[in-house]
Amino acid sequence: MPPEPSLTIRKARPPGRLLQLWEQREALGALTFRQIRSRFAQPVIGLAWLIVQPVIQALVFSLFFGFLVRVPSDGTPYPAMVFTGVALWYLVSHSAMEGANTFASAAPLLRQTPLPRLYPVLAAVMSATVDTSIALIIALFAGLLFGAHPGWQLLSAPFFLLAAMLAAFGIASILAALCGVWRDARQLVPLGTQMAMFASPVIYPTSLIPAQWQSLYALNPFVGIISGLRWALLGAPAPNPSHLAISIAAAIFIGGFGLWTFFALEGRAADEL
């Protein structure tokens, strides 16, 4: 009589996995550098595309929402305000798309090497953070050009970028795990990213949201992060401390939940390679 098939339950076990990630950190650095180098193999073209893409988006949004619809900007120049949001959203959208395609685009690498499966996700987020940092520097100069006056709060910009990176990593990890198991789910990511952009204060200030909904709205981590970046780079009104705390807590939760989800599902996703 043949033995009954056994069912193996994979557990996340984050501590051991995190130790493995740390021990192979040099490979992560090399993978991240390779992604950055591939985009800047021709520095002029790479840097020009990095600048032109958010500039065009900012111009379109400024024309329709700033000039025609007259969306308020809380006293900051609307083009600079929307450019800051668009620059930050590049990190989110790029991380989400790269995360969703991780097990498809990195399949040869993951099959042929003992590289931790989370590394392609981390490398995508880290390389996108470099691009976003450059775009935010440009946003700072755009703000100065339009008459913005940032002060000492400029020093807090890296903190908000780090929080955005954590939230983007959580989103990318969740999408990598889910799309690795259910490949067809990748088709929904572009639409979901667009919807999330309009649900975040990318092209409008948070002051447009009614006061009674502000705390609930702050559960979107990019609400506090984008408002904080505009305060840091453009001298916009400071975000409400309690709402900012909610957004930062949400970013930490999404980052941790994304890590746990990836560890729980990466085995099943790898079986589909």
Integer angstrom CA distances of residue 106 from 111, 152, 213, 239: 9, 42, 41, 39
Distance CA 253, CA 248 (A): 9
Q: Judging by beta carbons within 10 Å of its beta carbon (0-12, 13-18, 19+), is residue 204 exposed, middle or buried?
A: buried
Between the CA of residue 186 and those of 96, 191, 200, 239, 254, what are the distances in Å? 10, 10, 21, 34, 19
> pLDDT, tens digit, for every residue of 213-256?
999 999 999 999 999 999 999 988 889 999 999 999 999 999 99
What are the tokens at 160?
């908000």
Q: Where are the domains of the chain?
A: 43-271
Greatest distance between any 2 Cα atoms in the chain:
82
Asked if pLDDT for residue 90 goes beyond 60, the answer is yes
Residue 230's nearest CA partner among 126, 149, 169 is: 149
Instruction: Pick the most confident of 8-22, 33-47, 187-201.
Output: 187-201
The alpha helices in the chain, defined as continuous H runs, are: 14-23, 25-39, 43-61, 78-100, 102-105, 107-112, 119-145, 157-181, 189-198, 214-217, 221-234, 241-271
Mean pLDDT (the chain, rounded)? 81
pLDDT average, residue stretch 19-42: 67
DSSP one-letter code for 7: -
* pLDDT at residue number 215: 92
Read off the pTM. 0.84
The arithmetic mean of pLDDT across residues 126-152, rounded, is 85
Residues in the chain: 273
